[in-house]
Structure 1
Amino acid sequence: MALPKDQELKINKALYEAMKSKNDDEVIRICRGIAKGALHITSIHGDTVLHMAIYQKKTNLALRLLEMVPSCDNHKLTWQNVGGSTILHETATNNRTVRVAEAILHRAPMLLNMVNKEGETALFYAARHGKTDIYMFLHDEVCRSNEGTYVEASLKRDDKFTLLHIAILSRNYRVAYDIATNHRELIPVKDADGMTPLQLLSTIKPEFHPKSRIKSMMFKLIDTDLNAQQKKLPFGKKLRKLKKEKHSCEWAIKIANLLIKEDNSWEKTASWSDYGRSMSKLKPDQMITTAAEAKLDHTADTPLLLATIHDSTEIVREILNIYPQAVEHVDKEGHNILHLAIWHRRYEIIDMVEEMEYPLTRLRGRVDSNYNTLLHMVGHKVDDMKEDIKHPAQELKEDQRLYKRVEKICTTLDMSTRNANQKTAFEVFSEANDKLRAEAKVWMCENAKSCSIVAVLIATVAFTSAYTVPGGPSETGHPVLKGKPMFLLFTLADAISLSTALTSVIIFLNIVTSPFHFKDFSSHLFEKQLTALILLIISVATMMVAFAATLILTISNQGKWSDVTLYAVSFFPVLVFFYSYISDYWNMIVGFFRALKKTMSKIVLGFHNMWDYKPQSTYPVDGTVHFSSISHV
């Protein structure tokens, strides 16, 4: 008999409060007073008390509630909520309910093959939530209880999504590895979007190694035993988080290697052709005449190219380590890995290919189906969400640096090669960046004008301070506090502030009056702005130091504690300013040393090649000519 509405609301409220306060005895007491007991529906989504207890990881409560259900009502355990989830589906959401799942299947084994409204069994649900222990248990039960087609049906969803797909998407690489090992038939299976598990892995950018050196060192000191109790330690939660990250990295490498070894999609490549080197070979009706027709429409269908597009550098590296010949793969639009890496600005992948000398020789000089060389691709850019927002001048500077870099890779002929729109690489680059150059000009002018005003104000204050020194002059005209150390600090700081402020003003004026040619951005304009900004920051910092020194000279009363307080208050703005810009300066210093290291490596390599030079290696005795010797022809 159904309960009155008001009474049912009171019972549901009492059950919610009892579960919220973790009062298991009260929940049991309330359920004993209800006709349906543990199967009483207590949520607007059709969840029973058992559903709620299992979802909240209350193992003991769930077992007690299950005992309340008579054996003759075992068929009622198949109740599904609004989403179609059974109580077995709820056990798949955490690892603490393995005992509950075992007890449920003992009484209602038919739950193992029941699916929710999305076509997911409890096993599929466990893989989706990334819970290893409950997944292992349910997988063993499925393999033990079912055979043939029943097992296969448990591994797939109605929309062709497999267990391996969902495990990879949930970032549970341990489960994904187990699935790929035990069910290798799922490795080449495609979902409704035509994506294999490896293609899916290539798009989610898995992390194989920690990015920071500190975390890398910590990984070496900890194990990956996730079952070890760390709660008693003050840093137990952080340690467990590090263990999970290390565990994820280790299994990500394993599943990636397994899937890559089973994948041979890179062998099915488009025809490798230069498509001719002169546009005169094209018929008029074959030429692309509009920008809309020339738009690059890429649909990469291999893990290598997908990983390149989505910046999954680790996946690209693993594929090329196992199959180095895959670097020559070409898609249906004629794009190789370098075309896509340049187009999507994947600098780490460009570095990787550049280090592979022989593959680089094979890839340079190639054009796509629209006759775009590698140098043409610099002029194309994908408009997507960027991790960091850069100002127009910096973005233009990076594009110009990339153009020069790719120019060194390409052959001499590539510089004059015209694409399907009868445009050279430089013409494409200039047209693509013309709007960006205008934006960079406006940004740099406004920035220079604003900074010039600040620099002039600082210079005015510094100039005035030089003639109104702390303590004033003596009868002879010399400063009264001349002999004190703080006066020397004030003098140096004020002089540096004045000189750097005036110098920055001169540089900013030079920027404002610049013609803003393309070559100006690539040669000196950006460096001038950076130099002026650094001088302005130094000017502000030294002005703060001069202020602090002045405050100490004029107010100090030789009291120990009062002087300590005065020093702290005076230099506090300096510390705040230093903290605000320390990250920018640190990145600048790191970038400088990286560039210096790279330059030194090239110099050392150049000297090594000079002393080891062998003329006969270029033109062998047998009369053959190496490809590298004719690549620039």
Structure 2
Amino acid sequence: MRNNNQIEPQGFDVDELFQFTMAKNWMEVLRICKSHPSDACKAKLTKSEETVLHIAVSSYHVRERGANALADIIRQLVKSLPVGQAVEILKAENKKGDTALHLAAALGSVTICECIATKDRELIMIRNQKGETPMFLAAHHGHMEAFRWLHELYNWNAREPDYSLCRRNDGDTILHSAISGEYFALADLITIKYDRLVNSVNEEGISPLHILARKPNVFESSSNLRLCDRMIYRCVYVPEVKSHQSRRGDWRSIKKTEEHYPENYQTCVNFIRLLSTAFRIIAPLGKGQDQGQGQGPGLVDQGKNGRSLTDTADPEEGKMEGQASRGEDSDSRQPGSTEDREIPIEGNQGKELNDENTFPPNYATCIQLFKFAINLALIIFGIGIWKISKMREKKQRHNRAVRMMDKLIEKESRYKYSHDGQNPINAAERMYAERIDIPKAAPETPDTPSSSKDNIPASKSKDEKNKIESKPEANPKDAKETSILLAAKMGISEMVEKILKTFPVAIQDLDANGKNALLLTVENRQIKVFDLLMTMKLPEFVLYQIDNEGNSAMHLAAKFQEHKPWRIPGTALQMQWELKWFKHVKTSMPPQCFIQYNKKYETAREIFTKTHQKLAKDGSEWMLKTSESCSVVAALIAAVAFATASSIPGGVNQDSGHPVLEREPIFRVFSVASIVALCFSVTALVFFLAILTSRCEQRDFKRSLPRKLLIGLSSLFTSISAILVSFCAGHFFVLQDQVHRGAFPIYAVACLPITFFAFAQLPLYFDLLWSIIRKVPVRCYK
């Protein structure tokens, strides 16, 4: 809907331009804008105060047909702007404060960013209402190529990058956004280009490491993989990222891929790419071959389909304008596609991520052959390429998360003493004199001059520059929880182990309730982290730590969590694993923790009994209902088995008293099956009755009740199978003369209903068996 309050410029019809724009008739829009370049491009057409450029950029979608043509239209629109008014028109904002460059950066289109930003570099520093610059939006949506292009253009010829563009009004930086969106390849690039953002915090005192600690799903320790998935995960090959020293690039050297084929060839190209991907999954290339294909989008290498961006200077405007040939760029990747590529890392950070490092080098060929055989067998047996590809992506994401975690922890400065034995006042003055920090708030107007060093007037002193550019960052100590506390609460054992190895004093961290990492681990039922801490040589005061309410680790282990953390269905089995968890903590902690009272004069056992009453009640009701249903079935089978055992097929020989068919093999099968059905059905009935008459106290859920239910179900399934075999064996004598060969298919069809019932109960049976066998419960992370 067009804004009715908009004053129509003379010389052209705004309504006509609005209609053409809504109909996406871009040729007519281009004709009008070229006829009236100043008025048509300035006019705000929609209720959101968007201009023609806003709508055209928003309509650009790489995957749609005609995307290349629309990119050319936008390029011509920008080129048709009047020389003296081009920058002013490009600075036009919508209601959210977004310029056309903001929208292009959010879409990740390097081509559109190029034709707009090269008009004036100051367009990159304009902020919207949230304080976000175009470079921030490119990072926020995970567009690595667009982010790097804007970074190189704005910081061209600068000694160090301008950190003022990296933060929005709420204090979040581009590193916060990249990690929050799980764009770890982009986050690696940011830590190379803007290394000081590693220790930056937002207004709430949250650092990038805090953001990563809140994402347990990106770490292997929080992935509950089944046996088949775990086998694929271990065997799948993820190429190691080659090391590369970080260097400053040039925006003119960034290459963009160009598709050298018509759009109607897209289907064939996609099919060829699919076959190539399938081949790489089945037969992964060696380490040297993978690295030779350009594993490093952060620092652009020579690509096969690359094309250079030539730079020409416009003497009239004095602005840099890049002119590129037609063709699509790297914005053919969707948001988040940065995960498809890798960033070169420094040093030896990626060595531990390679599976082959655990074996001698001469074993590499054997390992690759073994993995190839496993992958091929999985495909043959129906697992499929998609399963292997899914596990490969999961493992690749886990490796990137660990690499990002290592980099953040190695540069962590939280545990260093602030003043280092010097005069605190002098140290603070010297620290802020040597650095340029990030301003928390956005500039008051979009026309504020750039805060990069090359744009600050030379007449200002260095101290005055720092006053303008910087504001002290929020103190990281103001954060409510440190990174190790968050990691312990979320169950990220990799992060807890890395932090404690790098900063052993981190085990002393406490949250607002006086809980350390061990107490938070016990409270949140994080078994892997708890076992990890127990294997470490922790100081004794860590084990005896109590919170502000006087609760020790045993008290917190006794409290019931409403979110049901255990990976087992059913309230009765949940109760069983609660008892096992309580015992596991009890046997791992010092004995003094168990008899200790909290401030309410409650012991851990009293808290367990009090908080688990409802769970025990629900588990008892489920046990009784299950036993009642199964006991009825067991009683029916016992009656039928008794009647079957007392009746002999073919009768008895009157002279000898022996069965007439005793020499037939089928008769022996009938005799054994009938007695087995009778015995096991009676056994099942006895155990179900034992559950019905049980007291169902809390301690009974640990062993007594689950074992009785397991034995009852096992006996019931055995009796069902035996009675079916007995029926088929007895009935075989009736059909052996008429349909001897067709008897077995008939019996198979007759047994289908009972078979379906048995298969329907198998999940319960296996869950029950698993819960009994497991000594330590398994945490659920969903």
- TM-score of the two chains, using structure 2 as the length reference: 0.61
Structure 1 residues 582 and 393: CA distance shift in structure 2, 3 A: closer
2:222 aligned with 1:207: no
Who is 1:89 aligned against? Answer: 102
Matching residue of 1:98? 110
Asked whether the equivalents of residues 710 and 765 of structure 2 are also in contact (C-alpha less than 8 Å), the reply is no
Matched with 1:305 is 485
1:441 Cα deviation (Å)? 2.6
Q: How does 1:556-567 map to 2 (within 5 A)?
A: 566=746
CA contact (8 A) 2:653 2:659 kept: no
Q: Shift of residue 140 of structure 1? A: 1.9
Q: 1:524 to 1:90 in 2, by over 3 A?
A: same
Aligned pair count reads 547
Among 106, 113, 116, the residue aligned to 2:125: 113
Partner of 1:366: 545
The one-letter amino acid paired with 1:259 is: L
Two-structure CA RMSD over aligned residues (Å): 4.1
2-structure distance, mates of 1:513, 1:592 = 21
Partners of 1:88 and 1:100 in 2: how far apart? 8
Indicate yes or no: 2:274 matched with 1:231: yes
- 5 Å-filtered alignment, 1:344-383, equals 344-356=524-536, 358-359=537-538, 361-383=540-562
Question: Cα deviations across residues 24-44 of structure 1 (Å, max 9, x unaligned)?
Answer: xxx554545655899799988
- What is the CA-CA distance between 1:65 and the residue it aligns to? 0.8
Q: How does 1:318-357 map to 2 (within 5 A)?
A: 318-356=498-536
AA aligned to 1:105 is: A
> Amino acid of the residue matched to residue 434 of structure 1?
Q
Q: Which residue of 2 aligns with 1:521?
A: 701
Change (3 A) 1:77 1:261: same
Tell me the secondary structure at the aligned position of residue 506 of structure 2.
helix
Q: Summarize deviations over 1:581-618 as a string: whole Å, max 9, x none.
A: 6666666777777759xxxxxxxxxxxxxxxxxxxxxx
Residue of structure 1 aligned with 2:593, choices 401, 411, 414: 414
Match of 1:184 in 2: 195
Q: Structure 1 169/375 Cα, relative in aligned 2: closer, same or farther at 3 Å?
A: same
1:390-401 alignment to 2 at 5 Å? 390-401=569-580
Q: Does 1:49 align with 2:62?
A: no
Q: Output the CA distance in 2 between the equivalents of 1:233 and 1:462.
A: 61
C-alpha contact (below 8 Å) 2:175/2:198 kept by paired residues = yes
The match for 1:429 is 608
Provide the rounded CA distance (Å) in 2 between the counterparts of 1:72 and 1:406: 72
Name whichever of 215-224 and 549-558 sits farther off. Answer: 549-558
Q: Is the 8 A contact 2:573 2:771 kept in 1?
A: no
Aligned residue for 2:167?
A: 156
Residue matched to 1:136? 148
Q: 1:386 to 1:373 in 2, by over 3 A?
A: closer
**Which deviations, in whole Å up to 9, do the C-alpha atoms of 1:14-62 show, x marking residues without a partner?**
53xxxxxxxxxxx554545655899799988655133212465665223
Summarize the Cα distance change of 1:93–1:531 in structure 2 as closer, same or farther, 3 Å threshold.
farther
CA distance in 1, matches of 2:564, 2:769: 28
Find the aligned partners of 2:184 and 2:138 in 1 and give their Cα distance: 13
Output the CA distance in 2 between the equivalents of 1:89 and 1:552. Answer: 80
Deviation of residue 520 (structure 1)?
A: 2.6
Sequence identity percentage: 24
Tell me what 1:71 maps to.
80
Of the structure 1 ranges 60-69 and 493-502, higher mean CA displacement relative to structure 2 is found in 493-502
Aligned partner letter, 2:218? E
Q: CA deviation at 1:547?
A: 6.0
Identify unmatched segments of 5+ residues in structure 1: 16-26, 269-298, 597-633
Name the CA distance, whole Å, in 1 between partners of 2:625 and 2:416. 53
SS of 2:709's equivalent in the other structure is helix
Report the equivalent of 1:627.
Answer: none
Pair 1:380–1:35, CA change in 2 (3 A): same
Deviations 1:84-115 (A, max 9, x none): 444433443456x3233223323454432233
Is 1:442 aligned to residue 621 of structure 2? yes
Structure 1 residue 509 displacement after superposition: 1.3
Q: Which residue of 2 aligns with 1:256?
A: 405
Check conservation: 1:493, 1:545, Cα contact below 8 A: yes
Q: Could you tell me which residue of structure 2 aligns to residue 503 of structure 1?
A: 683
Contact 1:55–1:90 (Cα < 8 Å) also in 2: no
Taking a change above 3 Å as real, the CA distance of residues 51 and 505 of structure 1, as seen in their structure-2 partners, is same
Q: Answer yes or no: is the 8 Å Cα contact 1:266–1:302 preserved in 2.
A: no
1:138-177 Cα distance to aligned partner (Å, 9 max, x none): 22223228788x9222100111111111111100111112
1:62 aligns with 2:70: yes
- Which stretch of structure 1 is more off in the superposition, 569-578 or 403-412? 569-578
| Structure-2 separation of matches of 1:145 and 1:82 | 34
Task: Say which of 433, 440, 453 aligns to 2:632.
Answer: 453
The 3-state SS of whatever aligns with 1:194 is coil
Q: CA 1:352/1:537 → structure 2, altered by over 3 Å: closer, same or farther?
A: farther
> Separation in 1 of the partners of 2:217 and 2:22?
44
- Residue 437 of structure 1 and its aligned partner are, at CA, apart by 2.7
Q: Does the 8 A contact of 1:174 with 1:248 survive in 2?
A: no
1:224, 1:350 → 2: CA distance?
A: 32
Question: In 1, Cα distance between the equivalents of 2:26 and 2:770?
Answer: 63
SS of 1:144's equivalent in the other structure is: coil
**1:230/1:568 CA distance change after superposition, 3 Å:** farther
Mapped to 2, the partners of 1:550 and 1:267 lie a distance apart of 83
The 3 A distance-change label for structure 1 pair 564 and 446 is: closer
Task: Flag the 1:84–1:502 CA change in 2: closer, same or farther, 3 A.
Answer: farther
Cα distance in 2, alignment partners of residues 180 and 385 from structure 1: 38
Structure 2 vs 1, CA of residues 139 and 555 (structure 1 numbering), >3 Å: closer, same or farther? farther
Secondary structure at the counterpart of residue 515 of structure 1? coil
The alpha-carbon distance between structure 1 residues 91 and 3, as it changes in their structure 2 partners (threshold 3 A), is closer
CA distance in 2, matches of 1:44, 1:263: 47
Q: Choose from 565, 577, 584 the match for 1:405.
A: 584
- Superimposed CA distance per residue, residues 479-526 of structure 1 (whole angstroms, 9 cap, x where no aligned partner): 787766666555555544433332122112112212233333334223
C-alpha separation between the residues in 1 aligned to 2:678 and 2:200? Answer: 70
Q: How does 1:593-604 map to 2 (within 5 A)?
A: none
Q: Is the 8 A contact 1:230 1:240 kept in 2?
A: no
| Deviation for aligned residue 1:354 | 1.9
Deviation at 1:376, TM superposition (A): 1.6
1:447-486 to 2 correspondences below 5 Å: 447-466=626-645, 473=651
Compared CA separation, residues 522 and 217, structure 1 to 2 (3 A): closer
How many angstroms apart in 2 are the aligned matches of 1:249 and 1:32?
A: 47
- Point out the more displaced range, 345-354 or 414-423: 414-423
Change (3 A) 1:360 1:595: farther
1:532 to partner: Cα distance? 2.0
SS of structure 1 residue aligned to 2:203: coil
Q: Secondary structure at the match of 2:171?
A: coil
Secondary structure in 2 matching 1:231: helix
In the other structure, the counterpart of 1:217 is: 234
Cα 1:591/1:381, change in 2 over 3 Å = closer
Cα 1:336–1:29, aligned 2, differ >3 Å: closer, same or farther?
closer
Q: Do 2:127 and 2:133's aligned partners in 1 also have CA atoms closer than 8 Å? A: yes
Change (3 A) 1:405 1:80: same
Quick one: structure 1 residues 397 and 475, their matched pair in 2 at CA, closer, same or farther if it must change by over 3 Å? same
Q: Is the 8 A contact 1:309 1:341 kept in 2?
A: yes
